[in-house]
Amino acid sequence: MKPLFLPPLMHKRVHQFIAKESDWGFTSFMSLQDLYDPSKGFLVNNTMIFEAEFNVRDKFGFQTTAQYDM
């Protein structure tokens, strides 16, 4: 079994959120096959530690109130 703490698996992305695109800027992070593979060491005792960091660099066209068509 691999040690509990592995070097981080990182994916850095820059994405502009717009109304025409509802995605989150990436299509996949890692395959479930890799996640569940005991030799990879991501799951230890059926536990995975996941950390995410988000930075907002610039904001424009920012809407402060909800808008609903009725």
Whole-model pTM? 0.43
Greater pLDDT, 58 or 31 = 31
Enclosing H/E stretch for 34:
helix 32-36
Angstrom distance (rounded) from CA 50 to CA 9? 10
Of residues 36 and 13, which shows the higher confidence score? 36
